[in-house]
């Protein structure tokens, strides 16, 4: 059984990894000076949240990845949340609640991350912060 300390360490480690990965977001594998369309690289991606705030632990936010490549059928989306619960981890939009899978709340800062990839294996990613309060309310940052 994992303890709160284990989960805290795992979340801290994930945040450090994601912070280092964020530096590589964008056109990984693209030739310098080339446009995304000419190299097959994935265009930069951003994330939005709607609503940006929830009042209760079971209320959901929808996180959506935005990319100029969204119409490309080879584009794949993979989502990860360091806090809360994702109803699914694939697709351009996901539903997230502050309530963990085990029906517990882990207050504090967390990250929602999406990695977008194409059939050539090139990726772009984006990260958005969330903050979960002790009462289960949450804010996307």
Q: What is the pLDDT of residues 78-132, one digit of tens each?
A: 999 999 999 999 999 999 999 887 888 999 999 999 999 988 889 999 999 999 9
Do 61 and 48 meet the contact criterion of CB atoms below 8 Å apart?
Answer: no
Q: How many domains does the chain have?
A: 1
pLDDT digits over 50-82, tens only? 999 999 998 999 999 998 877 788 899 999 999
SS3 call for 18: helix
On the CB side of 39, CA atoms within 13 Å amount to: 16
Q: Report how far residue 137's alpha carbon sits from residue 131's, in angstroms, rounded to the nearest whole number.
A: 8
Q: 76 is in which domain, residue-wise?
A: 4-25+42-140
Confidence of residue 34 (pLDDT cuts 50, 70, 90): very low
Q: Is residue 35 part of a domain?
A: no
Pairing outcome for strands 85-86 and 53-54 = unpaired
Indicate the helix (H) or strand (E) that contains 22. Answer: helix 4-22
Q: What is the pTM of this model?
A: 0.70
User: Would the pLDDT of 32 be above 60?
Assistant: no
Q: Is residue 91 part of a domain?
A: yes
Task: Provide the CA 8 distance to its chain's centre, in angstroms.
Answer: 18
* Residue with more model confidence, 108 or 16: 108
Q: Report how far residue 24's alpha carbon sits from residue 18's, in angstroms, rounded to the nearest whole number.
A: 10
DSSP 70: T
- Per 3-state DSSP, the chain is made up of helix, strand and coil in percentages (nearest 5) of 15, 35, 50
Do 129 and 111 meet the contact criterion of CB atoms below 8 Å apart?
Answer: yes
Q: Is residue 31 part of a domain?
A: no
Do 66 and 46 meet the contact criterion of CB atoms below 8 Å apart?
Answer: yes
Kindly report the CATH number assigned to the domain that includes residue 94: 2.60.40.1080
């Amino acid at each position: 059984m994992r303890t709160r300390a284990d989960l805290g360490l795992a979340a801290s480690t994930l945040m450090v990894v994601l912070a280092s990965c964020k530096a590589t977001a964008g056109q990984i594998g693209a030739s310098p000076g080339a446009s995304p369309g000419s190299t097959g690289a994935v265009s930069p991606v951003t994330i939005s949240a709607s609503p940006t705030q929830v009042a209760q632990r079971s209320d959901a936010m929808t996180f959506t990845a935005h990319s100029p490549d969204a119409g490309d059928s080879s584009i794949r989306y993979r989502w990860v949340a360091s806090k809360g619960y994702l109803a699914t981890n694939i697709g351009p939009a996901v539903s997230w609640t502050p309530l963990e899978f085990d029906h517990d709340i882990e207050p504090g800062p967390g990250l929602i991350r999406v990695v977008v990839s194409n059939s050539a294996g090139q990726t772009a990613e984006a990260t958005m912060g969330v903050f979960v309060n002790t009462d289960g309310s949450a804010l996307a940052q």
